[in-house]
Structure 1
Amino acid sequence: MCVLVDLFNREIIGYSAGVHKNAQLVYDAFATVKTDLRKIQMFHSDRGSEFKNELLEKVITTFEIKRSLSMKGCPYDNAVAEATFKIFKTEFVYGRNFDSLSQLRYELKSYVKWFNNNRIHGSLNYMTPVEFRKLTL
């Protein structure tokens, strides 16, 4: 699975699920972003091969998104994403078995909707990501 997190309000703006952890998985997550990709100012990730490759470079270049990579071996550079992944794994992944990739994709879509619209975050003054975005924009 791949999730794209907006640092402004911790909203999951893109997501995908696939058989392999590769560039196509990240590309598919970008394809689910509902806003204009040209509004994304920066894409920050770790240095995994799924993030640093020709396919993703085409997306970033096409939409004029600046690139930021974590320092090697430094999870603190990506702290918000790491915290979101921990929540994601704890609430959605651990202890679960999915019968098929299509079931995983269906449930992932439902979880992302719940996460963005119902789950409150202390760092957002106990609002949901969507509430925070609507209040501040």
Structure 2
Amino acid sequence: MKSCPFDNAVAEATFKIIKTEFVKKRHFDSLEGLHREFKDDVYWFNHLRIHGTLDYLSPVKYKLTHLKKTV
């Protein structure tokens, strides 16, 4: 259905995390600085930050663990 928020649940959750954990109460001096810090934050989120719903692993470690089990 058009404009149904459940169609974009993953995108909505991602943007919420970006707004609450990355952008809120921060100031960037340049677009290059914003880009560099955003890349660092995405790396941290995917490679270092543990998630309770992923058995307390980072998304990358969780994916690699489950890929090994299926191969």
Which bracket does the TM-score occupy, shorter chain normalised? 0.7 to 0.9
RCO (CA 8 Å, sep 6+): is it higher in 1 or 2? 1
Shift, 1:133, TM fit: 1.1
CA distance in 2, matches of 1:126, 1:90: 21
**Is 1:132 aligned to 2:62, yes or no?**
yes
CA distance in 2, matches of 1:125, 1:110: 23
More strand by share: 1
RMSD: 1.2
Shift, 1:80, TM fit: 1.9
The corresponding residue for 1:100 is: 30
May I ask how many residue pairs the two structures share in their alignment? 67
Runs of 4+ residues deviating >6 angstroms: none
Question: Quick one: structure 1 residues 127 and 91, their matched pair in 2 at CA, closer, same or farther if it must change by over 3 Å?
Answer: same
CA distance in 1, matches of 2:51, 2:6: 19
Unaligned ranges ≥5, structure 1:
1-70
Identity of aligned residues (%): 61
Corresponding letter in the other structure for 1:127:
L
Unaligned ranges ≥5, structure 2:
none
Shift, 1:114, TM fit: 0.5
**Is 1:80 aligned to 2:10, yes or no?**
yes
TM-score norm. by structure 1 comes to 0.46
